Structure 1
């Protein structure tokens, strides 16, 4: 349940923020807060796609469709000490 914030409460919050951060720092604080909220929203929207992709990869691995991951195709070369 979200609280109902009216105009008087919003003005009080802005005045307190202005007193705490000062007029020079307040735009920077607002900008960083906006970026944080934007990134949070973006990550919550992208998550279902990532989960779906992981489920599909898991199904393919269980089905054994013959495809190999890049890690599986990489072969290690013997070291110099092992050749000797």
Structure 2
């Protein structure tokens, strides 16, 4: 497990980020934000696909529950 970050570590990370990226730091933050949003949208699309039944699976469910299956007497 990773230990939690304290205030000292966060300050060091912020200083290193400012030194490395300088004036480009807002651009880097914006691109990271867009990447996170697109990742979440992709996950949401996958979960929506999983949750929605396809016509083939709904037809199988219908026949299993006695919907429109032919009956032989």
Please confirm whether the aligned pair reaches a TM-score higher than 0.5, indicating the same fold: yes
Q: Is 2:57 the partner of 1:59?
A: yes
Alignment match, 2:20: 20
User: 1:12-48 CA distances to partner (integer Å, 9 max, x unpaired)?
Assistant: 11111111111x1000001111111122122222311
Counterpart of 1:44? 43
**Separation (CA, whole Å) in 2 of partners of 1:38 and 1:5:** 24
How many residues were matched structurally? 61
Structure 2 length-normalised TM:
0.62
Distance 2:50 2:58 in 1: 14
Aligned-residue CA RMSD (Å) = 2.4
Q: Which runs of 5+ in 2 are unaligned?
A: 62-73
Q: Structure 1: which 5+ runs fail to align? A: 64-84
Q: Quick one: structure 1 residues 57 and 10, their matched pair in 2 at CA, closer, same or farther if it must change by over 3 Å?
A: farther
Give every structure 1 segment of 4 or more consecutive aligned residues whose post-TM-superposition deviation is greater than 3 Å.
60-63
Equivalent-residue separation in structure 2 for 1:58 and 1:3 (angstroms): 48
Separation (CA, whole Å) in 2 of partners of 1:36 and 1:17: 18
- Where 2:30 maps in the other structure, the secondary structure is helix
Other-structure match for 1:32: 31
| Distance in structure 2 (CA, Å) of the matches to 1:17 and 1:47 | 34
